[in-house]
Amino acid sequence: MDGGSGGGDPTRPRVGLFPCPFQGHLNPMFQLAHLLHRRGFPVTVFLPPSTPDSVAGHIPHFDFVPLPGRLLPRLDNQSDVAEAIAELNAQCEAPFREALCRIASAEGVACVIVDALLFRVQAAAKDAGVPALAMRTSSAACFNAFILYPLLLSRGYLSIQQESHLEDPIPELPPLRVKDLVRVDRSSSESLSRMLEQVVGAARTSSGIIFNTFDAVEAADLELLRQRLDGVPVFAVGPLCAVTGGAQCSLLAQDRRCMEWLDKQADRSVIYVSFGSLAVLEEEEFGEIARGLAQSGQAFLWVVRPGQVRAGVRLPNELIEVEERGMIVDWAPQQEVLGHPAVGGFWTHNGWNSTVESLVAGVPMLCSPRDYDQMGNARYVAHVWKVGLQMDFDNGPNMEDISQAVRMLMVDEAGHDARARAQHTKEEVTDCVRPGGSSSRAIESLVDHICSL
Ligand code: UDP
């Protein structure tokens, strides 16, 4: 774990951080903020519109600058994310530039670390005369796909007409297949294409790009990325949850009763089920998942966020009958849950944070990617690192398949092998973050780099 000298070293310059207001982006950005603060950097966090007020309340040793603006519509699997990101960029640019100029002229700011999706915010920092670094909260492999997006588009891999080719490999991006890329329809492909071009363009002209990843799992992709970004410094400082001992910034209240419930369960007997902060389930999907968990015979801890089921939560009788075997919570302390000895598997949507947190805890995964970068992450989990089993919802979730997959992960040979490899990866994570390990060295270079700007 990162040692550090404590906050407020008078020789350290101030660092600004600018996250996207989504859970999966806030957590790693705040972990990075804690890391830099422990290294003595005074920290200012700029909060875009739509960030809940509670975020600022928790952390007395950071300065917060909330920016004015309209609330963003809630993101879910049906949103046009590119439009939402474009809107966020447009809203934040001018108020951020103004706030940054004020702080920079009062006390100086060495640099601003900006979520890589906020390309106009990065440009605004440079306009204000402050160097901008990009922070990418997903994998290096995903950013390689962003860089190659125009090529993938021109070769037709991304169009929905390719349904019959979903299993085809993408020679430009091994080990991905067509089905592992973000699928887009015609109406959104243009806005996505424009957004990715701007995201990659901003990264190429940034003073560096920081990834919440690490050599043990992504050394080859990081190497390719460095070649493709041609001289832009790349810092693989992850997994930040391990480096910072799990600091986080939860937007929802965590129901800690599940930790007491886990204490009463046998070692490795519980499957933890969560599909992250954005995915929304249809009523039918929810019912199949509930019946599948009931039929699997396994103990389960299941996160069902308020509003996660479009039509509202109605538990089927099959699940009510086995209620004592499971627990459903609104929101869990996920990193602690994954570190609990009772948890033997994680059924996940493979958001990058959930994937990394599972690798850190050495817990094997059942992968049900739904959107965005999740298919690519799941491909690495199941086929490259082999620390999980993939279950696609291609034809909608079905209780028989779910029950079988849960048992396969929790009790069968295949799950056993994945668990052994997950334990091995956990040791490799520990090597990366110990003094002299690749992530520790990357943190040292990042600290030196910031001081040199
Ligand atoms: N998370 C949590 N409690 C929960 C479910 C999720 O704290 O009950 C956290 C999880 O630890 C992770 C983040 O929410 O850090 C979700 O990010 P991820 O990238 O996995 O998925 P996204 O929400 O962006 O789809």
State the closest ligand 1 atom to the C-alpha of 331, by its place in the atom list counted from 1: 8
Is there a catalytic annotation at residue 34? Answer: no
Give the closest residue (by CA) to ligand 1 atom 15.
353
State the closest ligand 1 atom to the C-alpha of 372, by its place in the atom list counted from 1: 25
Residue 1 pLDDT > 60: no
Beta strand 270-274 pairing with 299-303 = parallel
Catalytic: which of 2, 115, 215, 221?
A: 115
State the closest ligand 1 atom to the C-alpha of 335, by its place in the atom list counted from 1: 11
Q: What is the pLDDT of residues 259-307, one digit of tens each?
A: 999 999 999 999 999 999 999 999 999 999 999 999 999 999 999 999 9
Range 387-400 average pLDDT = 85
Complete edge-to-edge strand list for the sheet that includes strand 365-367: 326-329, 299-303, 270-274, 343-348, 365-367, 388-390
Q: Give 325 Cα–ligand 1 centroid separation in angstroms.
A: 24
State the closest ligand 1 atom to the C-alpha of 27, by its place in the atom list counted from 1: 15
Residues within 6 Å of ligand 1 by CB: 23-24, 27, 250, 274, 276-278, 303, 331-332, 334-335, 351-354, 357
Q: Among the CATH numbers 3.40.50.2000, 3.40.50.720, 3.40.1440.10, 2.60.15.10, which is that of 15-236?
A: 3.40.50.2000
- Here the tokens at position 54 are 């509670």
Residue 418: partners with Cβ closer than 8 Å, 6 or more residues away: 364, 365, 386, 387, 388, 389, 409
Instruction: Tell me which H or E stretch contains 272.
Output: strand 270-274
Beta strand 15-18 pairing with 111-115 = parallel
**Running DSSP on this structure, what letter comes out for residue 281?**
B
How many CB atoms neighbour CB 185 within 10 A?
9
Residue 53 pLDDT > 60: yes
Q: Give 31 Cα–ligand 1 centroid separation in angstroms.
A: 14
Catalytic: which of 25, 37, 340, 449?
A: 25
Q: Give 162 Cα–ligand 1 centroid separation in angstroms.
A: 31
Instruction: Tell me which H or E stretch contains 49.
Output: none
Q: Which residues pair with 211 in a beta bridge?
A: 136, 236
pTM summary value? 0.95
Look at residue 156 in the predicted model and tell me its pLDDT.
81
Q: Do domains 15-236 and 257-430 have the same CATH topology?
A: yes
Alpha helices in 113-234 (DSSP H): 119-127, 140-147, 149-154, 186-204, 215-229
Highest mean pLDDT among 185-199, 304-318, 352-366: 352-366
Contact 1, 242 (CB under 8 A): yes
Please give the single-letter amino acid code of residue 403.
S
Domain ranges (residues) in the chain: 15-236, 257-430
* Averaged pLDDT of the chain: 91
First to last CA, the chain: 26
CA-nearest of 289, 272, 275, 299 to 401 is 289
CATH topology (fold) of 257-430: Rossmann fold (3.40.50)
Question: Using alpha carbons only, how large is the chain's radius of gyration in Å?
Answer: 21
Measured CA to CA, the distance from residue 249 to residue 59 in angstroms comes to 9
Q: Which of 277, 308, 365 to probe ligand 1 with, by most ligand atoms within 8 A of CB?
A: 277
Contact 151, 127 (CB under 8 A): no
Give the closest residue (by CA) to ligand 1 atom 21.
351
State the closest ligand 1 atom to the C-alpha of 138, by its place in the atom list counted from 1: 19
Confidence of residue 191 (pLDDT cuts 50, 70, 90): confident
- Name which of 124-133, 270-279, 307-316 the model is least confident about: 307-316
Measured CA to CA, the distance from residue 53 to residue 35 in angstroms comes to 22
CA atoms within 13 A on the CB side of 425: 30
Measured CA to CA, the distance from residue 140 to residue 214 in angstroms comes to 9
Q: What is the pLDDT of residues 92-113, one digit of tens each?
A: 999 999 999 999 999 999 999 9
Q: Give 254 Cα–ligand 1 centroid separation in angstroms.
A: 12
Give the burial class of 407: count Cβ atoms within 10 A of its Cβ; 0-12 exposed, 13-18 middle, 19 or more buried: middle
Look at residue 71 in the predicted model and tell me its pLDDT.
72
Q: Give 24 Cα–ligand 1 centroid separation in angstroms.
A: 6
Is there a catalytic annotation at residue 349? Answer: no
